[in-house]
């Protein structure tokens, strides 16, 4: 009983004021922080200091301000750390992609730029991510029409260091386009990175007289690709395309500058004149006289800037011809047999890359109409001397049949 009384006496009462002067512990501190003597608190285990800091402030608005400041500081700290980590990951990824060479583009056309907060890139001297830009072409496929120019362009696009214009721009052969200037032409080119080659193809460049000088005015060191096929086969293919366009919805004049009624005639009637001689005025025949156009290009460009591609061999076995082109363009060998598969239905090779397979559209590889073998033989004999003149210009015998 006595011990219980003693204990009750030792505990402070609710209305009991602890001895000592509060002001002796008060400090003139910021935030009105209050110090109280330890006698104001219930006893606890261990020794207590003479004065104890009370956790709290006497000004709520000021407290809210400092709490907001601390939270903002904490947020900014984590934000900077997070962005630093993201920046490092992006830099490593971009460096790895650059080493591989190509697909830094979408295979679309977006710029991958690494951003970093608070200009840390400059302070850390981190490398700036490469940016794609539109460049004038360093290589052109100048022709020949119906010799596989589209197939050649799509095959070259398998290479990671090649970017292609999406369509035939017809800048150098059409006066209305050429008058728009090189900046207009540049705007039609794809985005590419430094070191990549931009290629454009317009088959009519080969046969248009003004084009060689115009191309040299743009770039005297441009690489020129000329794809050719056996002349009679090319002429029949040209006729087949013109005939396919001779429909009620077609324009009033065909692309061969002949009335539509001509396109509906048999090939034999168009290729031969009424007296039985070869009709060299017929456009598909005229375009197959390759030497008549090549000499104009050789007057402007040295022979080593023009590579003649055998279109017949490109169809039968693409890889050897593509290897020649890679060397000509100064590219590492990247395109191989893994990039092709033979389509039994179409009768020619289709393309394959890491993500998809692709065949040329249905209009490519049309079935040719049957042509009288006697007319084919007559045409091949006619082309013998013209082919020889072409061989002399290119320094190579392509071995086209002579009968």
350 is in an annotated binding site: no
Give every CB contact of residue 129 below 8 A, 6+ residues apart in sequence.
90, 91, 94, 112, 113, 114
334 is in an annotated binding site: no
194 is in an annotated binding site: no
Quick check: is 378 catalytic? no
- Report the distance separating Cα 338 and Cα 349, nearest Å: 12
195 is in an annotated binding site: no
296 is in an annotated binding site: no
Report the 10 Å Cβ neighbour count for 199: 25
148 is in an annotated binding site: yes
367 is in an annotated binding site: yes
381 is in an annotated binding site: no
Reading the block at residue 89, the tokens are 């990951």
Give every CB contact of residue 196 below 8 A, 6+ residues apart in sequence.
102, 161, 162, 163
150 is in an annotated binding site: yes
312-342 b/e (C-beta count within 10 Å ≥ 16 → b) = bebbeebbebbeebbebbebeeebeeebbee
352 is in an annotated binding site: no
185 is in an annotated binding site: no
To 10 degrees, what angle do helices 318-329 and 149-156 make? 70
Q: Which of 61, 100, 146, 194 is catalytic?
A: 146
338 is in an annotated binding site: no
Given a contact cutoff of 8 angstroms between Cβ atoms, the answer to whether 380 and 401 are in contact is yes
- Report the distance separating Cα 130 and Cα 111, nearest Å: 9
42 is in an annotated binding site: no
**Torsional sign, CA 298, 304, 309, 310:** positive
3-class DSSP state for residue 223? strand
- Report the distance separating Cα 315 and Cα 177, nearest Å: 32
Q: Which residues are marked as active site?
A: 146
| Binding residue ranges | 146-150, 229, 237, 349, 364-368
User: Binding site for 3'-phosphoadenylyl sulfate: residue ranges?
Assistant: 146-150, 229, 237, 349, 364-368
């Amino acid at each position: 009983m006595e011990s219980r009384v003693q204990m009750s006496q030792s505990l402070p009462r609710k209305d009991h004021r602890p001895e000592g002067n509060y002001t002796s512990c008060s400090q003139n501190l910021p935030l009105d922080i209050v110090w109280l003597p330890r006698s104001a608190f219930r006893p606890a285990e261990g020794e207590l200091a003479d004065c104890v800091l009370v956790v709290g402030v006497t000004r709520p608005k000021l407290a809210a301000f400092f709490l907001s400041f601390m939270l903002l500081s904490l947020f900014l700290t984590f934000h900077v750390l997070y962005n630093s980590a993201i920046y490092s990951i992006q830099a490593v990824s971009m460096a790895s992609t650059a080493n591989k060479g190509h697909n830094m583009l979408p295979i679309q056309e977006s710029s991958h730029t690494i951003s970093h907060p608070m200009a840390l890139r400059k302070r850390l001297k981190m490398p700036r991510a490469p940016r794609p830009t539109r460049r004038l072409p360093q290589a052109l496929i100048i022709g020949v029409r119906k010799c596989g120019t589209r197939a050649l362009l799509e095959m070259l696009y398998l290479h990671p260091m090649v970017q292609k214009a999406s369509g035939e721009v017809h800048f150098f052969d059409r006066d209305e386009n050429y008058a728009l200037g090189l900046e207009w032409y540049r705007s039609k080119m794809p985005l590419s990175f430094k070191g990549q080659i931009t290629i454009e193809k317009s088959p009519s460049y080969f046969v248009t007289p003004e084009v060689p000088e115009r191309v040299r005015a743009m770039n005297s060191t441009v690489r020129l690709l000329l794809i050719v096929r056996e002349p009679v086969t090319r002429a029949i293919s040209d006729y087949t395309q013109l005939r396919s366009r001779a429909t009620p919805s077609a324009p009033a004049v065909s692309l061969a500058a002949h009335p539509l009624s001509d396109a509906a005639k048999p090939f034999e009637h168009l290729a031969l004149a009424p007296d039985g001689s070869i009709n060299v005025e017929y456009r598909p025949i005229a375009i197959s006289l390759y030497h008549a156009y090549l000499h104009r290009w050789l007057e402007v460009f040295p022979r080593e800037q023009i590579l003649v591609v055998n279109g017949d061999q490109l169809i039968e076995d693409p890889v050897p011809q593509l290897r020649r082109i890679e060397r000509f363009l100064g590219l590492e060998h990247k395109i191989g047999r893994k990039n092709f598969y033979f389509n039994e239905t179409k009768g020619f090779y289709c393309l394959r890359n890491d993500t998809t397979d692709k065949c040329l559209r249905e209009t490519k590889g049309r079935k040719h109409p049957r042509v009288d073998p006697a007319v084919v033989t007559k045409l091949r004999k006619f082309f013998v001397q013209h082919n020889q003149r072409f061989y002399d210009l290119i320094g190579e015998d392509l071995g086209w049949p002579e009968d």
